[in-house]
Amino acid sequence: MNLPLEEALQQQSNKQQLQYEAYKSRKRSLLYNRYFILGILAILIIWSWVGTKFHIMDLFSGFSNMAIFIFQDLLPPDFTTIPSFVGPILETLYMSYVGLLFSVTFSLFFGLMAAKNTTVHPAVAIVSRSFIAFLRSIPAMVWGILLVAAIGLGPLAGTLALGLSGIGILGKAFADLLEEIDENQVNAVRATGANWYQVIGQAVWPQFKPGFVGWSLYKMDLNIREASVLGVVGAGGIGFALEGSISLFQYQQASVGILAIFALILVVEFITAKLREKII
């Protein structure tokens, strides 16, 4: 026969035992899950390692060859060739800017159609969303190749490629921004008897503007990077001149091109950062 005190102690220790069991099972499931994901990653890495015939020595030989190449061939940059890069650099800038305006204009339309609360019909929203997703999942470079085939070499193909891939990014961003708009403010303005333009101007735009400006300027930064390599496939911009000088073994000229791209990116990022501060 147990005494009451002993019984209580027994119960308490049982309870602790149960809690401990639950804790252990939780820990086990977490650990099991971690091993599962790590296992998948390990399989993926081994598969890729074997598939690409990668050798750990490639890292050392690759980077040492690269260092030798940089210090022997790329440096010092031949700064007398700067004038030949001015035109392509400006062209890159123009392409990015026109491509940006193109994608902003169309993204506003497709974004409005894709957002659940501003679309004319739910079916239109689904079509618009999937169109945007399709544009997004094909890289600008691929658009460049397709458009060069369609409309010929030159900056027009590159500009349109930037514009199309831009709709993919900005359209999604704008649609998401519109869906997050506070409906109460819109309803409040509407309750005062405002017409559609006034509702858009006074209730929707003020909420939409910071995201709109931020995403558009971010896209400008991206465009400069994309535009500087689109020339490799003949879609205009500095990439064409750069690849030309590399394939002619004019490496000291190529290093000027690389530095020019670096400078252009820095300048544009500085300007977009200033504009972001000023507008938002």
Partner 1 sequence: MSKMNKQNNNLSRGILWSLAFIFFVISLLQLDIAPEKLANIFSRTQRLLDNMFPPVIDDPINIAGAAIESLQIAVMGTLWGIIFSILLAFFAAKNMTPHISISYLVKALAAFVRAVPALIWALLFIIAVGLGPTPGILALAVNSVGMLVKVYAETIEEIDQRVIDAIRATGGSPIQVVMQGVLPTISSIFISWSVFRFDINLRYATVLGVVGAGGIGWELIRASRMIAYNEMLGVTIVMFIMVLGAEYFTRFLKQRADLATIRATK
Least Å distance, CB 183 to partner 1, is 29
> Is 65 one of the binding residues for partner 1 (CB under 8 A)?
yes
In this chain, which stretch among 93-101, 167-175, 185-193, 203-211 interacts with partner 1, using CB under 8 A?
93-101
In the chain, the amino acid numbered 97 is: Y
Member of 78, 82, 84, 97 binding partner 1 (CB under 8 A): 97
| Residues 238 and 265 sit within 8 Å (Cβ to Cβ) | no
Member of 7, 14, 16, 63 binding partner 1 (CB under 8 A): 63
> Is 142 one of the binding residues for partner 1 (CB under 8 A)?
yes
Considering only residues 179 through 218, tell me which ones interact with partner 1, judged by CB under 8 A.
none
Member of 82, 108, 145, 194 binding partner 1 (CB under 8 A): 145
Q: Which residue has the tokens 């831009």?
A: 166
Smaller CB separation from partner 1, 15 or 34: 34
In the chain, the amino acid numbered 14 is: N
> Is 39 one of the binding residues for partner 1 (CB under 8 A)?
no
Least Å distance, CB 119 to partner 1, is 23
Smaller CB separation from partner 1, 186 or 230: 230
> Is 51 one of the binding residues for partner 1 (CB under 8 A)?
yes
In the chain, the amino acid numbered 221 is: D
Member of 14, 15, 17, 27 binding partner 1 (CB under 8 A): 27
